[in-house]
Amino acid sequence: MTAPAFSLVVATVDPDGSLLRALFESLVHSEERSFEVIVADQTQGSHLAQVTESFADRLCVQHIHLPTRGASAARNAGAALATGRWIGFPDDDCLYQPDTLGHVHRVMSMEGVRVASGRTVDAAQRSSVLRWKTSAQDFDRWSMFACLTEATVFAERSLFLAVGGFDVRFGPGAAFPAAEGVELVDRMLREGSGWRARFDPAIQMVHPNKIPPWNRWAAKRFYQYAQGDGAFVVRRLGGHTLRWVVLTLGSASLHTLVFRGWISIAHAARIAGICVGAWRYVRAARREGRR
pLDDT surpassing 50 at residue 131: yes
Tell me the CATH number of domain 6-206, given options 3.90.550.10, 3.90.1300.10, 3.30.565.10, 1.20.120.550: 3.90.550.10
Q: Break the chain into its structural domains and give their ranges.
A: 6-206, 216-289
Angle at 159 (CA atoms; ends 157, 164), nearest 5 degrees: 95
Q: Contact at 8 Å (CB) between 248 and 229?
A: yes
* Mean pLDDT score, 117-143: 96
pLDDT interval class at 291 (50, 70, 90)? very low
Q: Contact at 8 Å (CB) between 116 and 200?
A: yes
Per-residue pLDDT tens for 188-204?
999 988 999 999 999 99
Average per-residue pLDDT for the chain: 96
CA distance 109 to 34: 14
Q: Counting Cβ atoms within 10 Å, is residue 178 exposed (0-12), middle (13-18) or buried (19+)?
A: buried
pLDDT surpassing 90 at residue 1: no
> Would you state the pLDDT for residue 214?
96
> Would you state the pLDDT for residue 68?
86
> Would you state the pLDDT for residue 290?
56
* Mean pLDDT score, 215-232: 98
Ranges 182-186, 213-217, 218-222, 284-288: which has the least confidence: 284-288
Per-residue pLDDT tens for 245-289?
999 999 999 999 998 999 999 999 999 999 999 999 999 999 987
Per-residue pLDDT tens for 15-49?
999 999 999 999 999 999 999 999 999 998 899 99
Per-residue pLDDT tens for 161-187?
999 999 999 999 999 999 999 999 999
Give CA separation, 112 vs 116, 163, 208, 216, 280, in Å.
11, 18, 32, 46, 38
Ranges 96-100, 136-140, 254-258: which has the least confidence: 254-258
pTM, 2 dp: 0.96
